[in-house]
Amino acid sequence: MSGSVQLPQPGLGTFRLQDDIVIASVKSALELGYRHIDTAAMYDNEAAVGRAIRESGVPREEIFVTTKIWFDRLSDDDAITALQESLTKLDMDYVDLALIHWPSPDNEVPMAEYLGALDKAREQGLCRAFGVSNFTIAQIDEALGLPCGKRIATNQVEVHPLLANTKLVQHCQSKGIQVTGYMPLAVGKVMDEPVLQKIAAAHKATAAQVALAWVASKNIVVIPSSTKAAHQKANLEALRITLSADEIAQIDQLDRGERVANPPFSPKWDQ
């Protein structure tokens, strides 16, 4: 991979989780064996995530922590300041991975400026690696053309059976960039898919577990969000499911380009 770090599989997503709920979720996940926690400045839960990690008893160096910088903080100095603010909230000296949460809308801040800033943050020891999120094929290619481009560790994008994002995933992987898949359960919509339910029955699993196994079969790091220990355990067990080529092909057919995360400032998505 382009970056210098290996992202643990799976990660725990913390979007929409706040206060005591996120603290309990992170502690439970770490107790079960998760070693990858994903947060962001925009989630407004970094302080709680940091507290949960400190109270978990798991040494900091054993946990892979990702945070993200929002698109209103992308200008050179401000991006580094934003990351420093995140570190203060997390009560950490560094994060393992710092991501650009969304590309700058309408390219208001040049990519060279904000990715260069993250590379500087890496040199300063504020993050072990940096990457991007919600980047299109064209944006990945632009990023790879920059001096710091070869150090991009991941592109974190929405991936689930209803939105396979195949062209983008394969493009990133062909360039040596690890893909991280967020919302791998399409906020629960995958549970209602008869194809997934049928395959799940054959594996004595759930539709959610089959969806996660399918995403992981594409060599994508999954970061499902869950507040219940039983669900977190099931998500870990999902990665032990081996789907047949025929089952994967059946699930591939569910792709209908159904996006959950599609805010007005989104880039022009690849079809």
Q: Which domains does the chain have, with CATH numbers?
A: 12-185+219-225 (3.20.20.100)
Residue 130: which H helix or E strand, with range? strand 127-133
pLDDT tens-digit profile of 213-259? 999 999 999 999 999 999 999 999 999 999 999 999 999 999 999 99
Alpha-helical (H) ranges within 57-145 are 76-90, 111-123, 137-144
Number of C-beta neighbours around residue 77 at 10 A: 11
Compute the mean pLDDT over every residue in the chain, rounded to the nearest whole number: 97
**Looking up tokens 């054959």, which residue turns up?**
202
Q: How confident is the model at residue 1 (pLDDT cuts 50, 70, 90)?
A: very low
ω into 59 cis (within 30 of 0): no
Q: Helix, strand, or coil here: 98?
A: strand
Percent of the chain with pLDDT over 90: 97
Is 209 in contact with 241 (CB distance < 8 Å)?
A: yes
> Can you tell me the distance from the alpha carbon of 192 to that of 96, in angstroms, rounded to the nearest whole number?
36
C-alpha to C-alpha distances, 257 to 15, 24, 114, 192, nearest whole angstrom:
22, 34, 29, 17
Q: Quick one: average pLDDT of 39-63? A: 98
CB atoms within 10 A of CB 62: 10
Residue 3 pLDDT: 59
Q: What is the mean pLDDT of residues 76-83?
A: 96
Given a contact cutoff of 8 angstroms between Cβ atoms, the answer to whether 3 and 178 are in contact is: yes
Residues forming the active site: 43
Give the H or E element holding residue 20: helix 19-32
pTM for the full predicted model: 0.97
Mean pLDDT of 72-101: 97
Spell out the residues 6+ positions from residue 41 whose beta carbon is closer than 8 angstroms to its own. 67, 68, 69, 70, 73, 82, 85, 86, 101
